[in-house]
Structure 1
C-alpha cells in the first residue's frame, strides 16, 4: 500500500526539492509521488493551486507559477462538484505545456477541506479551501456577533478535518466583552480561542479575562502549516491578517464613515506564503451561511447534547415529544441551553435534508451514467444480417 498522502508531517530538510516544501508538500506526499508509475513521473509534475480567479487556477510548481484550466470532465453531468480543484489542492500538471494551454490532469487526495452549500436551493457541496491544517473562524464583536453562526462554522470545520480556531475580532467595539467571551467559551469543546483588536491594545483587559490575544495568536502560527480565515464579510479578516504579519498581505479599503468599519475587500481565493513560513488561504466572505453539514461535525460541535442524547430511550429519538427523551429532561432541569438545543435540532434537520437530496441527486446521476453505458453498447453492437430473409 502506498504511503498515506494526507499525512501532514512537513518535509522540511528531508525534501528532495525544498521549493515544494515551502508550499506545504509533505513527506508522505513525496513518498506517494515516488511510488507512482515512471511514465507519469516523467510526464507530469506536482504543484499547488495558489489562486482562483474567474475560472483560471494559478498553480505553483517547483520551478514556476503557471495559469491552468480545469478539464471539462469535472463539469459533465454525473460529476461531483466537490471534486473540482480549488485553492490549496495539490494537482498534477504536464511538464511540457504550451503557453496559455495547460490543463490540470489530476487532483491528489485531500487531507482536509472546508465546504459549504452553494448559494440558492441546490443541495450541492462547494469546497472553498483544501488541505487546511488550522481553520480560523473570525467573528466580529460588533453588530455581527452571532452564536448560531459560530456553531455553523465550527460544525463545518470539524466535518472537513481541519482544526478549528475561534478569533473574536473588533473587541474594542464590544461593550459587554466579558459576557460574550463567556458565551463563546461554552461552545468551544476543545477549539482554541483568541480575542483581537487592530485599534487598541487589550493586553491588560485580556489578562484579567484569562484569554489569549494577538501576541499569543502570532506565536501559535507554525511554519509549513496551512491556515485559512473564514467568516462573514466585514468582520475584519484582511485587517487582522495584516496586523498579525506586520505587512500588507491583504488589501483593505478605507473604513466607512457612518460606522467606522472596514469594508470587505477579498474578491478571490488565494494562498500566500507569509513571513515565518506559514501558508495562508484567504477566502471571500461566506454570503450564505449554510455549511456542508454532516452528523459527525454537528455532534462534535454540540458535544454536551450528544452525550446526554446517548441516554434517550430510543436510539432514533428526535428530541421532540418522544417518551424517555433524556435531552428534553435535561432541558427541563436547565442543564441545556434552549437556544443551543434549537440550533442543534435545526442543523441536524438541515443535515438530514441535505443527505436525502444528495442521495436523490446521486441516484439521478447513476441513472444517467447507466443510460449512457447502454447507449455506447448499442452503438458498438455489430449489425445482424438475417440470411434466411432472401430464401
Structure 2
C-alpha cells in the first residue's frame, strides 16, 4: 500500500527530508488498545509499544501517540517493534477530559474534516452542535454536520429543523442521512476525497458505526441494534480505529460523546458564535457582556427576533467553562476575564 493512501502528503514528506528519516521507518497508527498500538506501514500492520524515553518524557495525554498519528518505528522487523517518535501533527481533536477538570482527552489526530453526527429524531440539540463545532474550530478541523435517521421523521418537521440549523450555522455544510434507506448516502460519499482523513464524532447511537459499515461495504463495526440484542451496553464503539477506503479517504471512528467540555481556545468560540460576534461590533461598550448593559446590539437583536436567546445563553455558558478550564490549568494564577465579544473595539 502506498503511503499516500494513508494520508501521507508534503507536510510529512518535508519533515522526513529535513530530519533525514527514511519513509521505510514510518507508519500511521490505526488502532490504540491499552499499551499496544497497531501501526500500518506501506507493507504490513505492526503491533508496537512506545519507547521508554517517549513514555517517561510525556507530560500530558497529548504527548502519547493517538489514532491518526504518523510515527517513526524502531526494531520494525523484530518481535518487539518500538514507537520511537511522533511526527508533527497537522491537527488534534481534543475535549475536556470527563471527571478530570483542567485536563484534555485526545480524540484523534491529523484529521482534515470532522463529520458531526446527530440523531435528528431522538437527540436533536442545537446547543450540543455548538459544542461540537467549537471543538472542531479549536482543532483547526473543518466540520460537516450529518443529521441521521431522517426516515423516522415527518418531512415537515425535518424541514423545520433544517431551517433552524441553516439560520444558526449558515456557513457549515449540513447533510441528511438514513442509514436504513441510504437516502443522502451518495452526497456523503461525494464529500470524501482520496488521501483526506475524516473523523466521525457524535453521541452513541447517532449512526456513526452504521455509516462506516456502509462506506466500507461490510460490517466492520458493531452497531447499536446488534449490541442491544446481546445486552452489551449502550456504546457501540469503545475504542478509536482508523479505516482506509479503497481509492478514497481515511475514516476514524470514535466512542460516543455526550459530555463535551470546552478547552482553552478563544478563537473556537469566535468561530462558533460568529453571528453574535458580528452583531456585537455595534454594542456601545467594548467590554459588553450582553446581559443588562445599555445599547447592547446583541440583546436588541434578540428582542426583535434576529437572534435566539438560547444561542446567547449557550455562548455565555461555554465561555465560562473555557475560562474555568484555563484557570484550572494555570493554577488560578491569572485574573479571570469577563466574557466579551468586542475585545478589539474602542468604547464609543
State the secondary structure of the residue aligned to 1:343.
helix
Distance 2:95 2:228 in 1: 32
Distance 2:73 2:67 in 1: 15
The residue that corresponds to 1:3 in the other structure is none
State the secondary structure of the residue aligned to 1:349.
helix
Say whether 1:87 aligns with 2:67.
Answer: yes
The residue that corresponds to 1:154 in the other structure is 133
- Deviation of the 1:170 alpha carbon: 0.4
Distance 1:161 1:116 in 2: 13
**May I ask how many residue pairs the two structures share in their alignment?**
329
- Deviation of the 1:36 alpha carbon: 1.0
Distance 1:270 1:78 in 2: 23
The residue that corresponds to 1:178 in the other structure is 159
Q: Is the 8 A contact 2:228 2:234 kept in 1?
A: no
Is the alpha carbon distance of 1:192 and 1:76 closer, same or farther for their aligned partners in structure 2, counting shifts above 3 Å? same
Distance 2:296 2:281 in 1: 10
Is the alpha carbon distance of 1:255 and 1:271 closer, same or farther for their aligned partners in structure 2, counting shifts above 3 Å? closer
The residue that corresponds to 2:263 in the other structure is 292
Say whether 1:25 aligns with 2:5.
Answer: no
Distance 2:92 2:58 in 1: 21
1:84-119 CA distances to partner (integer Å, 9 max, x unpaired)?
A: 21000111121556413x332221111112111111
- Deviation of the 1:361 alpha carbon: 8.2
Match of 2:95 among 97, 116, 119: 116
Structure 2: unaligned runs, 5 residues or longer: 335-348
The residue that corresponds to 1:349 in the other structure is 320
Q: Is the 8 A contact 2:54 2:85 kept in 1?
A: no
The residue that corresponds to 2:168 in the other structure is 187
1:123-160 CA distances to partner (integer Å, 9 max, x unpaired)?
A: 11111100111100000012211111111001101110
The residue that corresponds to 2:144 in the other structure is 165
The residue that corresponds to 1:106 in the other structure is 85
- Deviation of the 1:285 alpha carbon: 0.7
Q: Is the 8 A contact 1:44 1:95 kept in 2?
A: no
Q: Is the 8 A contact 1:293 1:347 kept in 2?
A: no
TM-score, normalization: structure 1? 0.77
Say whether 1:63 aligns with 2:43.
Answer: yes
Distance 2:88 2:121 in 1: 39
The residue that corresponds to 2:342 in the other structure is none
Is the alpha carbon distance of 1:328 and 1:279 closer, same or farther for their aligned partners in structure 2, counting shifts above 3 Å? same
State the secondary structure of the residue aligned to 2:195.
coil
Match of 1:140 among 112, 115, 119: 119
Structure 1: unaligned runs, 5 residues or longer: 1-17, 203-212, 364-391
